[in-house]
Copies of this chain bind each other. A is one copy, B any other.
Amino acid sequence: MRIAVLGGDGFCGWPVALHLSRHGHDVTVVDSLVRRRTDDELGVESLTPVRPLPERLAAWWEVTGLVVRHVRLDLAREPERLAALLAAERPEAVVHLAEQRAAPYSMRDAAHKRYTVDTNVNATHNLLAALVEVGLDAHVVHLGTMGVYGYETAAVDLPEGYLHVSYPDRTGASIERDVLYPTRPGSVYHLTKSLDQLLFQFYAQNDGLRITDLHQGIVWGTQTPETRLDPRLVNRFDYDGDYGTVLNRFLVQAALGLPLTVHGTGGQTRAFINLEDTVRCVRLAVESGDAVVGGRVRIMNQVAETLRVRDLAAMLHRLLGAEVAHVPNPRAEAAENELEVRTDQLRDLGLEPILLEERLLEESLETARRYAGRVDPARVPATACWNAERRAAAAPAEAGR
């Protein structure tokens, strides 16, 4: 299948591109390379030594004989070039991962909030408008987030995108209806994924575009069978307070013998998925595109398991001997929440997920410990505060650090 991977130089995009290439698909990576510039802005770099994209692609060809092309293009800011590319290449599927994807980065200040909204909304909308303009019936596979559901979710097993609700009509009789799950995103980043959902709904309904939205949990793990084939193919590993997710930061802290910094009580339950499963899920979504019709967006939850942050810390203590330290939570969120997630659709397509318990130790040895010498410990703590109240609460801890 001819597939364009938008954002194919990123943490998920790169291994997705290689995985699809290795499975016989004809892959073009479309990426502005902005993620590398963000590292410069933040003064951090990937724990793993990521190579320039041309070197990565040359190595892939050397090792496998497979060609993956790159088109440098800013999806949010070069819509005409995008339309021309789609018209020329006519991909059968478009994997859309080209968005700013860090919640703390999106909450740093007004400029970062604006950058995230402007980039993510326009990236998604430019793609949809271009597909209509070009008249291309490509299946769009987008990476959403579990965060669109918000955290008021204790009492239900989270359905896949749609909630079946009832309400009375004006005679008092009951109306039964599937609606998009009422969204309550917890950061500007998550907000943009909620906005994406409405863009998808409209273009599916008005123009019959075929769209799959994958609501993913927190990805952990760094390498995949494809990125392990050569050191030049190594994937990103972000451990900084903006782009590093909770697990990566814990692994780095454990590798350095530092305590794991748990926000608040650590009672937040999060959904997790291993990177190898992410790339598999995206491929399963792409290859099942014939089942997706216009009119209704297919939404699948891309999650392997859910776990409380403090239980994750305890698992790391058991496996790696790390200590735990509680720090004020910079996020405006509930201190404790439940989370149970339905994942029937991807399991029906064949997903058998990797669990943290099985693979966490190996992940630590493969990346965090191996590259511990590259860590800048000052960059591990999360510093972006969600609002004025959380900023005030964090101030004494900041001052005492």
Name A132-176 residues within 8 Å CB distance of B: 132-133, 135, 155-157, 163-170, 175
- For A184, the chain B residues whose CB sits under 8 A away are 201, 205
Interface centre among A125, A130, A207, A340 (most CB of B within 10 A): A125
- CB–CB A170/B182 < 8 A: no
**Do A121 and B195 form a contact, CB below 8 Å, given A113-B129, A202-B185?**
yes
- CB–CB A114/B109 < 8 A: no
**Do A387 and B207 form a contact, CB below 8 Å, given A156-B167, A170-B155?**
yes
* CB-contact partner of A182 in B79, B113, B156, B177, under 8 A: B177
Residue on B nearest A157 in the bound complex, by CB: B170
Count A interface residues, CB 8 Å.
55
- For A179, the chain B residues whose CB sits under 8 A away are 165, 179, 182
**Bound form: Cα–Cα A126–B111 in Å:** 9
- CB–CB B110/A79 < 8 A: yes
A273: interface (CB < 8 Å): no
- For A118, the chain B residues whose CB sits under 8 A away are 118, 121-122, 125
- CB–CB A110/B133 < 8 A: yes
| Total identical chains | 2
- For A387, the chain B residues whose CB sits under 8 A away are 132, 206-208
- CB–CB A388/B135 < 8 A: yes
- CB–CB A79/B114 < 8 A: yes
* A289 CB, min distance to chain B CBs, angstroms: 20
A188: interface (CB < 8 Å): yes
Residue on B nearest A159 in the bound complex, by CB: B167
**Bound form: Cα–Cα A289–B388 in Å:** 22
- For A205, the chain B residues whose CB sits under 8 A away are 184
* CB-contact partner of A166 in B121, B130, B165, B180, under 8 A: B165
A183: interface (CB < 8 Å): yes
* A61 CB, min distance to chain B CBs, angstroms: 35
Residue on B nearest A333 in the bound complex, by CB: B206
- For A121, the chain B residues whose CB sits under 8 A away are 117-118, 121, 195
A229: interface (CB < 8 Å): no
A191: interface (CB < 8 Å): yes
* A220 CB, min distance to chain B CBs, angstroms: 26
Residue on B nearest A167 in the bound complex, by CB: B165
**Bound form: Cα–Cα A177–B117 in Å:** 28
**Bound form: Cα–Cα A129–B109 in Å:** 8
* CB-contact partner of A206 in B156, B207, B386, under 8 A: B386
Name A193-215 residues within 8 Å CB distance of B: 194-195, 198-199, 201-202, 205-208
Interface centre among A132, A206, A208 (most CB of B within 10 A): A206
**Bound form: Cα–Cα A147–B187 in Å:** 27
A332: interface (CB < 8 Å): yes
A83: interface (CB < 8 Å): yes
- CB–CB A175/B198 < 8 A: no
* A274 CB, min distance to chain B CBs, angstroms: 26
Give 9 new A-B contacts, CB below 8 A, not counting A179-B179, A206-B387.
A110-B129, A110-B133, A113-B125, A114-B125, A170-B340, A179-B182, A185-B198, A186-B206, A207-B388
CB<8 Å pairs between A and B, sample of 8 = A114-B125, A118-B121, A132-B388, A155-B169, A177-B182, A182-B182, A184-B201, A206-B332
